[in-house]
Amino acid sequence: MNDDNNSIINGFSGDSEREEKIENNENKQWHSPAPNTKAPVYREKEKPKRGFISYFIVALVAALIGGLISAYIAPQYLYGNIIPIPNNGGNVNPQNITINSQEDMNIVSAVAEKSMNSVVGITTMTTQQNFFGNNVPLEGVGSGVIIESNGYILTNSHVIDNGQADEITVQFADGSKSIAEVLWNESALDLAIIKVNDTNLPVAELGDSDDLIVGEPAIAIGNPLGLQFQRTVTSGVISGLDRTIASENVMMENLIQTDASINPGNSGGALLNKEGKVIGINTAKITSAEGLGFSVPINIAKPVIEQIISEGEFNMAFMGVSGIEVSKYEKALGVDIEAEEGFIIIEVVPGSPAAVGGIQQNDIITKIGDKEVTNYTTLRKALYNHKPGDTTEITIIRNGENKKLDITFKETPKEAKNK
């Protein structure tokens, strides 16, 4: 066997001394001389055969090592330091949004710490007659939010039995209790303000419900299922705005929808944003579905709160009309009037601001100031934005034409509080 052949067998392309040494030492096996010769002879050393299992083990180990490098070592130590960070075809997220998975939990804890003591428990006692004519005491449980340190508390109207409760008891975070009186309630809005004779109470900070966006965090604090679970914290997001639901024959509009858990007893409690500010008063839950809770926007209550705190009572702006929404009027009389929506006037109180301002029977009110009017509830909500003595523009439809009239509101007479 010559040098060229040996070089090819050993996988080398040259005939250096190193190649000859490797060839002589590793690839040859010496034997005794052949008969009738003096020189020894050699044969090629037989290479050991490797089975399938050996190759499989080697491949498995290599795969494991490669996986460890790719998953752990490369991202933490190599990429960006020794190896350039891979470029995924140049596709970069243009929004560049960073989300911290722990952020929401920190928000909920901070909000709870800030606002927990401002939420109170409310129990009521109401007397009703049973089937046999006997008076039976009924107890109710709800929640409330302290809005002024001298004892003013905001809650739902239905929590205090729409002002008909015989006794209202407020329980504070420290376990103390006080008897409360009703200063104001409105069943159409499902809001009420009660007062206790206590001072230096922890006040909740009010937010701006007009700035809410769907998807932002929402935290609810209240007393679900009774005072044994008082000041329970649940969290979720704002899942809808301007919702309308029917509750106990009352159409409630412009509600905030949230998936933060709201259960019986949560009513009157606070719905808060990520800054711990009250953005709504929890009012209802759809029992036939999960994750559908509703709150009254806090901005609806703000004009009432401000007037009651400053003057000790609330005097609603008096207009002096009664009527019905257009759709119900058309359905009841089987007629089709020239308006898609609005509040059609059935009666105008003589000498009232409406009469003085020129409003007539069969006029259709569509706006009070910049607030749309579609029915009785929206009419009353619009009036809550004004005080007695305010002058505002009223938009009406008369005989198919739009007109604008100026109305100066008066204080609501006791005998005409619903007009």
- Tell me the pLDDT tens digit for each residue of 347-357: 999 999 999 99
Residue 280 has pLDDT above 90, yes or no: yes
Report percent pLDDT > 70 for the chain: 68
> Among 19-28, 84-93, 320-329, which range has the highest average pLDDT?
320-329
Tell me which of 244 and 8 has the higher pLDDT: 244
Considering the chain, what is the average pLDDT of its residues? 77
pTM of the shown model? 0.66
| Domains annotated on the chain, with CATH | 3-44 (no CATH), 113-311 (2.40.10.120), 317-416 (2.30.42.10)
pLDDT category of residue 312 using cuts at 50, 70 and 90 = confident
- Tell me the pLDDT tens digit for each residue of 211-265: 999 999 999 998 765 566 567 888 889 998 888 877 655 677 788 999 888 777 7
Tell me how far apart the alpha carbons of residues 390 and 413 are, in angstroms, rounded to a whole number: 16
As annotated, the active-site residues are 158, 190, 267
Residue 20 has pLDDT above 60, yes or no: no
Tell me how far apart the alpha carbons of residues 172 and 8 are, in angstroms, rounded to a whole number: 95
In three-state secondary structure terms, 83 is strand
Of the candidate ranges 52-56, 121-125, 202-206, the one whose mean pLDDT is the lowest: 52-56
Residue 178 has pLDDT above 50, yes or no: yes
Distances in whole angstroms, Cα of residue 403 to Cα of each of 201, 317, 394 = 49, 22, 8
Residue 52 has pLDDT above 80, yes or no: no
Tell me how far apart the alpha carbons of residues 158 and 284 are, in angstroms, rounded to a whole number: 10
Tell me how far apart the alpha carbons of residues 345 and 419 are, in angstroms, rounded to a whole number: 11
Tell me which of 115 and 75 has the higher pLDDT: 115
